[in-house]
C-alpha cells in the first residue's frame, strides 16, 4: 500500500487594536521531500480579507479560486465591498458542502472591515466549521506552539506586539516541526491598507534551543573565515 501524502504548515492570525496580523511559513512538503521552500500560503480573497492555507495545497488553492469568484459576484451585485464575516462564511460553506473531498484542508480567514473599523479572525478547520477567535493557529506546526500562544497572547496588543507575536510563534514552530520551515511571511491589514513583510530564514527569523546554538556556531565560523 502506498503511504499517504504528508504535508506540513504553520499558519497564525491574530486580531489587535486596529487590525489583524497574519503569517505563515513557506515550506511545502510531500512526505520527506520538500517540494517548495518559498511558497506563499497567504492568499487574498478580497481587497480586505485573506485565506491562510494548510493541508493539501491543491485543495486550498481551489477553495480560494472559488471564493474569489463568489466575492466578485457578490460585490458586483451589491455594489459595495464585501465584509470579512461574509468571506469567511463562503469558505465555510465550501468546506462543509465538500467535507469528504476536502479532508486535508484546514484554513484561517482574516481581514479588516473599514465600515466597522474592526479586524476579524476566523478558524475554518477540516469539516466546515467556522469559529471567530481573537487568535487562531493551524497546520502541523501548530501543535508545538499552543502553550506559547496561550502564554504570550494578550488583548488589545499594538501592531508591533502583534507582528512580533505572529513571527515568533511561527519561528518556534519551524524550529520544532520538521514539516514547517523556509521564510516567515507576514501580512498586516488595517485602516491604512495592506502591509507585507518577509523574514528571511537565515537572517531575521528568531531561533530557539539547539537550532540557535548551531546557527551561532556556523556564523562564528563564517566570520572567522572572512577575517
CATH code assigned at 53: 3.60.20.10
* Separation CA 149–CA 134 (nearest Å): 11
Q: Report the number of distinct structural domains present in the chain.
A: 1
* Separation CA 80–CA 66 (nearest Å): 19
Please name which of 119, 109, 46, 50 lies closest in space to residue 76, comparing C-alpha atoms: 46
Q: What is the domain range of residue 129?
A: 11-226
* Separation CA 177–CA 204 (nearest Å): 19
pLDDT tens digits, one per residue of 92-150: 999 999 988 887 889 999 999 999 999 999 999 988 899 999 999 999 899 999 999 99
If you average pLDDT over every residue of the chain, what do you get? 86
Is 150 within a domain? Answer: yes
Would you name the residues annotated as active-site residues? 9
Is 2 within a domain? Answer: no
Query: Which residue would you say has higher pLDDT here, 156 or 110?
Result: 110
138, three cell numbers: 493551524
| C-alpha 16 chain-centroid distance | 16
Q: Average the pLDDT over each of 5-14, 61-70, 89-98, 106-115 and give the range with the smallest value.
A: 5-14
Is 121 within a domain? Answer: yes
What phi, psi does 170 have (nearest 5°)?
-65, -40
Residue 33 has pLDDT above 60, yes or no: yes
Residue 49 has pLDDT above 60, yes or no: yes
Amino acid at each position: 500500500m502506498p503511504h499517504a501524502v504528508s504535508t506540513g504548515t504553520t499558519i497564525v492570525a491574530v486580531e489587535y487594536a486596529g487590525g489583524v496580523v497574519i503569517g505563515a511559513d513557506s515550506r511545502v512538503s510531500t512526505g520527506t521531500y520538500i517540494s517548495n521552500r518559498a511558497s506563499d500560503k497567504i492568499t487574498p480573497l478580497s481587497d480586505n480579507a485573506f485565506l491562510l492555507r494548510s493541508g493539501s495545497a491543491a485543495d486550498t488553492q481551489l477553495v480560494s479560486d472559488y471564493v474569489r469568484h463568489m466575492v466578485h459576484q457578490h460585490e458586483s451585485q451589491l455594489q459595495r465591498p464585501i465584509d470579512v464575516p461574509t468571506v469567511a462564511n463562503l469558505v465555510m460553506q465550501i468546506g462543509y458542502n465538500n467535507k469528504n473531498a476536502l479532508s486535508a484542508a484546514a484554513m484561517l480567514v482574516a481581514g479588516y472591515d473599514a465600515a466597522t473599523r474592526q479586524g476579524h479572525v476566523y478558524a475554518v478547520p477540516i469539516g466546515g466549521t467556522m469559529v471567530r477567535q481573537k487568535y487562531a493557529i493551524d497546520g502541523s506546526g501548530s501543535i508545538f506552539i499552543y502553550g506559547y500562544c496561550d502564554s504570550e497572547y494578550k488583548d488589545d496588543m499594538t501592531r508591533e506586539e502583534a507582528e512580533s507575536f505572529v513571527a515568533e510563534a511561527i519561528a518556534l514552530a519551524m524550529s520544532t516541526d520538521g514539516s514547517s520551515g523556509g521564510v516567515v511571511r507576514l501580512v498586516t491589514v488595517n485602516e491604512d491598507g495592506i502591509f507585507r513583510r518577509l523574514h528571511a530564514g537565515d537572517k531575521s527569523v528568531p531561533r530557539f534551543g539547539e537550532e540557535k546554538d548551531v546557527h551561532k556556531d556556523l556564523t562564528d565560523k563564517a566570520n572567522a573565515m572572512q577575517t
